Chain A
Amino acid sequence: MAMFLLSESSSGYLLLEVHGLDEIGQNTEAVRSSVSDLSRFGRVVQLIAFHPYQSALDALNQINAVSEGYMSDELRSFLELNLPKVKEGKKPKFSLGVSEPKIGSCIFEATKIPCQSNEFVHELLRGVRQHFDRFIKDLKPGDLEKAQLGLAHSYSRAKVKFNVNRVDNMVIQAIFLLDTLDKDINSFAMRVREWYSWHFPELVKIVNDNYLYARVSKIIVDKSKLSEEHVPMLTEILGDEDKAREVVEAGKASMGQDLSPVDLINVQSFAQRVMDLADYRKKLYDYLVTKMSDIAPNLASLIGEMVGARLISHAGSLTNLAKCPSSTLQILGAEKALFRALKTRGNTPKYGLIFHSSFISRASAKNKGRIARFLANKCSIASRIDCFSDSSTTAFGEKLREQVEERLDFYDKGVAPRKNVDVMKEVMENLEKKDEGEKTVEASEKKKKRKTEEKEEEKEEEKSKKKKKKSKVVEGEELTTENGHSKKKKKKTKSQDDE
């Protein structure tokens, strides 16, 4: 009775044959002693076939199948190819040892290969695992670990529901790039100005903006060729006809040197580069805004994308930002001042990066600190909602923003702001109503397709009934809908039902 072994590994499937069954019998003790001795074990168990996985994706599919106890198609073809054929009606003269009975029964059902998984098989498989690198000659010592590492990462990512869109790394990188770009564009633009001023010095005084300067210099090229025809084009760029005329006038009476065409071409291409960079910066900013609304919509709607992105990048990640207390968030970015004040027992700073949001500038000098603290508290709430909630809605961020506005009003005029509890409840209700509305809209669309108008009218009645019910039951008790589901109000946004 021949016996085979199936061993699954990170690099591929192995099929082995067990020899010397007669001397071992089914004795686990004997197997154990042979396992420890490599040469003996090598005689007992021999490799018949090895099927490496085609790609990382293939490996992931295989491990998903194996861990659930199912047999994948690749495994099936591997087995059928390498094991003796099972004839119809005849009892097969071999059996396949597998690690666990579930996959064994799957294999048996599909291919009629008899499987067994008992202690004996277990011991043999231990031996295979121990001496794995001996069976696969091509593998170098670290290869198996690398394969295991890669496969484990992709397997675990799937388990943890790693969502690529919600990676905050992109925002951090984008913000760094934005800062670097700003510096670079500025220094290049200064260079263009200096360079072109050799040819046309007066232009620097007329056109102040760097970007416009680059564009103007591209149009003018050679100042001696300036004339009235250029005025409309210059007006288009500068926006002011007087300025355009000034440029033309200055061009005629300029004291700058003439440049050869080659030099002029060089300046032009450099000016073009600067313009391209400036355009790219704009696109990058738009990208940043989109990303922020993906990963941290509430934070973005509360304090704006730039400040939000800076906070996230300073903290290191959205999770780190969510974990810190709001007092830390308040002075993120002012560490030097903070530690200096702590050391010399002076006054600690009132705000860090948060200062750049619009609210602080609107507060009077006396209230800047208070608004900073209040804003930091709300930012903490927003970042925590963003980090840990599954859905992505800006409802909370907008309401929090309203609260900050109310607080500003309070300091100005004395108008009492609403309590946080009430505001949050309002948000939850709005979200539920939105869910309800969507649900009934979906349901009513379906019904329109199949049934008549009468049913539609009935549905409308039901909807209004539901809304009435809602307005009664507003104190956070269980809501029961027509179809008998009960919805409980939870602390976080609930959207699992339909989103």
Chain B
Amino acid sequence: MRPPKTGRGGGGSGGGRGLARGGGVSSTRGRGRGRESGRGRGPGRVKSRESESGGIKGGSKVLVTPHRHAGVFVAKSKADALVTKNLVPGEIIYNEKRIFVQNEDRSTVEYRVWNPHRSKLADAITTGVDNIWIKPGVKVLYLGASSGYTVSHVSDIVGPEGCVYAVEHSDICGKVLMNMAEKRTNVIPIIEDARDPAKYRMLVGMVDVIFSDVAQPDQAKILSLNASYFLKSGGHFMISIKANSIDSTIAAETVYQMEVEKLQMEELRPTEILHLDSCEEKHACVFGGYRLPRKQKADNAV
């Protein structure tokens, strides 16, 4: 595994000092160029032992621009990477790379790289989904939070006004999730089976978006039950379907159709079906709305 975190902390302070010098240099050069980023963390990162972001080496010039989706950004250098703004500057969750950008007033903004190979939501964004419905200030119910990788990025996006209710059943992942949630106050960890929303009904308010990544054969039912408890009318959902975990004997397309039909019966109307073939195999993402008002149907070009 990667070298330990506090070792990085030691390297980080060295990098921080280097950053001040580097920032000083680049800001004089870059004034004509608009937003210029500082160097990545110091010498320790040049070797870039994390290959997570695929191609971004520490110390290279990176330009960060907002993505079409609010709260998500794109870091452009030799290879593009999806990043989110770190809600807790200075903390990393699982050894992801960070990108530091210097503003004109010498303050640094920290971004964390989001790896589409590890996160289905990032995969969906890079594949080009229309609307993820998760933006700053919304409340998200996240089923199947696992160790909290994607949850941390969603928490970055929704920011301090929003909140993420992360439901995860397993103990081991739950411990990691809870450690992460202690640092981030907009993540509410719930170690409970998502099949039983009645059990955690005291902990969850009404949410705007439900994100489901549970990989269970009855996941449509899980989503619809949770939606009936917690998803507001006119809210949206995203469900990631792994064809093999529903039924590995029939073709993937058929599985997706079946799931979509099951969802439609429960008033979860899909608006987009995205095949994630770039990073995963036989996976699809379905985005949609819950109890959307009838008159929208005529306007929607679905």
Contacts and interface: CB of A to CB of B under 8 A. Distances in A.
B214 interface: no
B129 interface: no
Nearest to A103: B198
B175 A314 contact: no
B6 A132 contact: no
A481 interface: no
Contact of A160 (B191, B229, B233): B191
A32 B232 CA distance: 11
Interface string A4-38: 00001110000000000000000000001001100
B230 A129 contact: yes
B75 interface: no
B200 to A, nearest CB: 7
A161 B174 CA distance: 11
Interface in B184-217: 185-186, 188-192, 198-206
B204 A148 contact: yes
B205 A155 contact: no
Contact of A342 (B47, B192, B201): B47
Interface residues of A, number: 47
A66 interface: yes
B54 to A, nearest CB: 21
Interface in B147-186: 163, 165, 171, 174-175, 178, 181-182, 185-186
A376 to B, nearest CB: 14
A182 interface: no
Contact of A159 (B4, B5, B47, B171): B171
Contacts of A320: 4-5
B205 A148 contact: yes
Interface stretch (A79-87, A254-262, A321-329, A394-402): A321-329
A315 B47 contact: no
Contact of B1 (A9, A323, A343): A323
Contacts of B185: 149
B174 A156 contact: yes
B205 A129 contact: yes
Contacts of A316: 4-6
B44 interface: yes
Contacts of A194: none
A422 B44 CA distance: 42
A157 B178 contact: yes
Interface residues of B, number: 43
B181 A328 contact: no
A150 to B, nearest CB: 9
Contacts of A54: none
A153 interface: yes
Contact of A145 (B3, B163, B181, B190): B163
Contacts of B186: 145
How would you classify the secondary structure of chain A's contact residues: helix, strand, loop or mixed? Answer: helix
B198 A339 contact: no
A153 B202 contact: no
Contacts of A132: 205-206
Interface string A142-173: 00110011011101110111100000000000
Contacts of B10: 335
A313 interface: yes
Given A156-B189, A315-B4, A315-B6, A145 B43 contact: no
Contacts of A321: 4
A335 B14 CA distance: 13
A165 to B, nearest CB: 16
Interface string A55-81: 000000011001101000000000000
Nearest to B166: A152
B44 A151 contact: no
Contacts of B181: 153
Given A10-B203, A148-B205, 7 more contacts: A32-B233, A67-B198, A69-B198, A99-B201, A145-B205, A149-B188, A152-B189
A-B pairs with lowest CB-CB distance, top 4? A315-B4, A67-B199, A316-B5, A156-B191
Interface of A: 8-10, 32, 35-36, 62-63, 66-67, 69, 99-100, 122, 126, 129-130, 132, 144-145, 148-149, 151-153, 155-157, 159-162, 313-316, 320-321, 323-325, 328, 332, 335, 339, 342-343
21 contacts: A8-B201, A62-B202, A67-B199, A67-B200, A67-B202, A122-B228, A145-B163, A148-B188, A153-B178, A153-B181, A155-B203, A157-B178, A159-B171, A159-B191, A160-B191, A315-B4, A320-B4, A320-B5, A328-B3, A332-B3, A335-B44
